[in-house]
């Protein structure tokens, strides 16, 4: 049977015209290029300036670690207790492994030595297989994507911005040379603050409950179709968080992603997809949202029901090779790992590798070896593996089960917080009639008033709350900005003791900054599961008490005052809902 052309994968497009001047001119590190010769059996290495590993002061790295089944997945009954006795195992990275296979060799002699920029070979091998065969099994361009390790998504985005944008200086460059970055109007500000110092236009795109909008005023189509070239070049990079978007918690459907991708094709835009929360998609919310899970051209399964159930990456529809995906272990193992990986077409990965060679070189060998040991363990052809038969390494099945358990734990927190907030979002306000005080038939008007609104997040770690300040009894007396700041300070006071992230922290543009006074971000992730309900009730009670205030006296404190109070009260149950760092 002859397949039609549309079923035959084509090579990814050559997008080198988007590379910055410095990235185009980077050459491979002559030092790193030499490393391939070090592996020749019996070679006398007189070339490399490598420290002798016998002088490394660490003989082993060992740890007690969780087993993949420690946390219940979402499919477990909601009120089922977590495992009473947390399951754990032991892992050990030896000084020297006996295997000669570099794709399986995990030891301190190799992990703590200088290495190549793409990352520690065993870990790179595992993540490449996970990425190509399971996480993104249907990338539609010929040959599929490649990966390079980075020091977390902040590092990954920094390298992507360096690769695809040129620095613009108003004192040296024409306005027509100024490049730009498209992003959600409320965005993760570490990324925006990475791009701004390069002189780039930061262009916020309007959002709705799903995330970035395509149509309507301020949507992506409106911005690209009607670009004002007096501001500079039409932006050619789109930065986006599509799952559990930070800060709004929105999750883009496949249908919306296809619309956005089509526009990016039309205007030749690179998509930088930052996905720290990709595994935290909540079926209890998403079941009510029409979508086409696991969209792909070839209908190839990931091999795991959990992965197949998730809304897939832009990579699943990336026929051009214009998607650069950022992944991180920050939310799946620990933020302090500073470890992640970038997925893109091989030509882009090669350029990112050149940037890595002369900057971070590669992530910490300590971290890479411990994560590799956790995910892979010692290879079966190593003599050390027999003495370590008691170890429990996750392997691919365990890694997927761990991700599913994390999703379950965070979904239960999300459900509890949103349920309490839903129950407490109204208050009863009363006002005297115009009757004279000495009249016996005085009466009151009772009004049910909504204090805030929010949409249950379909993924991620955040609830994006809009304060209905226009319903506050003092609205006619104070500006919204004054009321918003007073509410924030009020919530930090006893007995509420809740610290929330003001919406202004996430405003990508001046227009978004004006609207941000109504918003706050809540993070349900860091607190113990048993505390979520009580803290959420305190927050709702704080709103109710604020709506009952007759004035704003005593609420003039600034941010530093509030932080100092929270630190002083840290032993008295103060709740930090900011989730800063996420």
Rounded alpha-carbon distances, angstroms, from residue 19 to 180, 351, 464:
14, 9, 36
Rounded alpha-carbon distances, angstroms, from residue 154 to 25, 111, 222:
24, 23, 29
CB–CB of 149/127 below 8 Å? Answer: yes
Q: Is the pLDDT of residue 390 over 60?
A: no
Q: What is the mean pLDDT of the chain?
A: 89
Residue 102 three-state SS: coil
Q: Which residue in 184, 185, 168 sits closest to 176, CA to CA?
A: 168
* 332 and 476 part of one domain: no
Residue-level pLDDT at 438: 53
* 134 and 20 part of one domain: yes
Q: State phi, psi for 83 to the nearest 5 degrees.
A: -55, 125
385: in domain: no
CATH of the domain at 542: 3.90.1150.10
* 216 and 305 part of one domain: yes
Structure confidence by residue, pLDDT tens digits, 393-447: 899 999 999 999 999 999 999 999 999 999 999 999 876 544 455 554 556 677 8
At which of 376, 393, 422 does a domain end?
A: 376
Q: Is the pLDDT of residue 298 over 80?
A: no
Residue-level pLDDT at 88: 83
CB–CB of 417/579 below 8 Å? Answer: no
Q: Is the pLDDT of residue 562 over 90?
A: no
CB–CB of 59/338 below 8 Å? Answer: no
* 230 and 356 part of one domain: yes
Residue-level pLDDT at 393: 85
40: in domain: no
Residue 149 three-state SS: strand
* 338 and 451 part of one domain: no
Structure confidence by residue, pLDDT tens digits, 51-101: 999 999 999 999 999 999 999 998 655 455 555 555 788 999 999 998 888
323: in domain: yes
Residues of the chain above pLDDT 70, percent: 84
Q: From CA 367, how far away is CA 489, in angstroms rounded? A: 40
Q: Is the pLDDT of residue 241 over 60?
A: yes
* 421 and 362 part of one domain: no
Angle between helices 346-357 and 153-164 (to 10 degrees): 100
4: in domain: no
Structure confidence by residue, pLDDT tens digits, 505-522: 999 999 999 999 999 999
* 99 and 174 part of one domain: yes
Is the peptide bond preceding residue 495 cis, with omega within 30 degrees of 0? yes
* 259 and 321 part of one domain: yes
Residue-level pLDDT at 2: 38
Q: State phi, psi for 459 to the nearest 5 degrees.
A: -175, 175
* 313 and 414 part of one domain: no
* 25 and 139 part of one domain: yes
Q: Is the pLDDT of residue 3 over 90?
A: no
Judging by beta carbons within 10 Å of its beta carbon (0-12, 13-18, 19+), is residue 256 exposed, middle or buried? Answer: buried
Structure confidence by residue, pLDDT tens digits, 133-150: 999 999 999 999 999 999
78: in domain: no
Residue-level pLDDT at 530: 95
Q: Which residue in 403, 186, 383, 215 sits closest to 304, CA to CA?
A: 403
Rounded alpha-carbon distances, angstroms, from residue 31 to 26, 50, 147, 150, 297:
14, 11, 21, 19, 42
CB–CB of 293/310 below 8 Å? Answer: yes
Q: How confident is the model at residue 4 (pLDDT cuts 50, 70, 90)?
A: very low
Structure confidence by residue, pLDDT tens digits, 196-211: 999 999 999 999 999 9
Q: Which residue in 265, 176, 188 sits closest to 220, CA to CA?
A: 265
Q: State phi, psi for 199 to the nearest 5 degrees.
A: 80, 15
Q: Is the pLDDT of residue 286 over 90?
A: no
Residue-level pLDDT at 1: 34
Structure confidence by residue, pLDDT tens digits, 211-220: 999 999 999 9
Residue-level pLDDT at 471: 96
Q: Is the pLDDT of residue 389 over 50?
A: no
Q: How confident is the model at residue 30 (pLDDT cuts 50, 70, 90)?
A: confident
Residue-level pLDDT at 123: 98
CATH of the domain at 276: 3.40.640.10
Q: How confident is the model at residue 547 (pLDDT cuts 50, 70, 90)?
A: very high
Tokens linked to 578: 């900011």
Q: From CA 254, how far away is CA 184, in angstroms rounded? A: 17
316: containing domain:
16-30+50-73+87-288+298-376
Strands of 473-536 (E only): list them.
Answer: 498-499, 501-502, 519-523
* 330 and 414 part of one domain: no
273: in domain: yes
56: in domain: yes
167: in domain: yes
CB–CB of 285/457 below 8 Å? Answer: yes
How many CB atoms sit inside 10 A of residue 565's CB?
Answer: 18
* 123 and 68 part of one domain: yes
Q: Is the pLDDT of residue 177 over 80?
A: yes
Q: State the total domains in the chain.
A: 2
In this prediction, residues 453-463 reach a mean pLDDT of: 97
């Amino acid at each position: 049977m002859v397949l039609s052309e549309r079923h035959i994968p084509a090579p990814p497009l050559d997008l080198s015209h988007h590379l910055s001047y410095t990235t185009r001119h980077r050459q491979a590190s002559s030092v790193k290029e030499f490393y391939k010769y070090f592996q020749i059996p019996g070679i006398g290495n007189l070339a490399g300036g490598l420290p002798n590993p016998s002088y490394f002061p660490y003989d082993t790295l060992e740890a007690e670690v969780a087993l993949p089944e420690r946390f219940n997945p979402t499919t477990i009954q909601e009120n089922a207790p977590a495992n009473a006795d947390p399951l754990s195992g032991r892992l050990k990275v030896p000084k020297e492994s006996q295997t000669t296979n570099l794709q399986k060799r995990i030891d301190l002699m190799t992990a703590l030595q200088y290495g190549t920029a793409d990352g520690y070979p065993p870990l790179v091998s595992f993540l490449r297989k996970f990425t190509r065969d399971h996480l993104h099994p249907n990338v539609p361009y010929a040959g599929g994507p490649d990966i390079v390790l980075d020091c977390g998504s902040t590092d990954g985005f920094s390298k992507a911005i360096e690769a695809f944008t040129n620095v613009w200086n108003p004192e040296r460059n024409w306005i027509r040379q100024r490049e730009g970055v498209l992003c959600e109007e409320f965005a993760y500000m570490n990324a925006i603050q990475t791009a701004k110092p390069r002189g780039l236009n930061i262009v916020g795109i309007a959002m709705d409950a799903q995330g970035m909008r395509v149509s309507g005023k301020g949507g992506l189509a409106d911005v690209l179709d009607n670009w004002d070239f007096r501001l500079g070049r039409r932006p050619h990079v789109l930065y986006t968080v599509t799952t559990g978007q930070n800060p709004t918690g929105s999750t883009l459907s496949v249908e919306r992603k296809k619309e956005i991708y089509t526009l990016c094709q039309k205007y030749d835009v690179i998509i930088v997809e930052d996905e720290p929360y990709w595994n935290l998609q909540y079926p209890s919310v998403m079941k009510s949202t029409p979508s086409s899970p696991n969209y792909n051209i070839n209908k190839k399964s990931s091999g795991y029901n959990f992965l197949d159930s998730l809304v897939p990456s832009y990579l699943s529809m990336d026929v051009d090779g214009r998607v650069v995906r950022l992944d991180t272990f920050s939310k799946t193992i620990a933020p302090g790992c500073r470890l992640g990986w970038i997925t893109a077409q091989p030509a882009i990965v090669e350029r990112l590798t050149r940037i890595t060679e002369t900057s971070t070189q590669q992530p910490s060998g300590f971290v890479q070896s411990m994560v590799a040991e956790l995910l892979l363990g010692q290879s079966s052809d190593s003599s050390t593996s027999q003495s370590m038969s008691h170890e429990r390494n996750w392997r691919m099945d365990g890694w997927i089960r761990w991700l599913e358990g994390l999703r379950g734990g965070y979904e239960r927190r999300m459900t509890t917080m949103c349920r309490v907030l839903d129950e407490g979002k109204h208050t009863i306000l009363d006002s005297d009639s115009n009757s004279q005080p000495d009249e016996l038939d005085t009466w009151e008007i009772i009004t049910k008033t909504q204090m805030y609104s929010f949409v249950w997040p379909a993924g991620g770690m955040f609830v994006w709350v809009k304060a209905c300040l226009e319903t506050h009894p003092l609205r006619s007396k104070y500006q919204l900005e004054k009321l918003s700041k007073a509410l924030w300070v009020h919530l930090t006071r006893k007995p509420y003791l809740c610290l929330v992230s003001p919406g202004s922290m996430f405003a990508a543009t001046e227009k978004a900054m004006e609207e941000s006074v109504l918003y706050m971000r809540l993070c349900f992730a860091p607190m113990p599961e048993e505390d979520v309900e009580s803290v959420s009730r305190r927050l709702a009670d704080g709103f109710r008490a604020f709506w009952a205030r007759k004035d704003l006296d005593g609420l003039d404190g600034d941010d530093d005052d509030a932080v100092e109070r929270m630190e002083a009260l840290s032993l008295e149950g103060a709740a930090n809902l900011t989730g800063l760092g996420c």
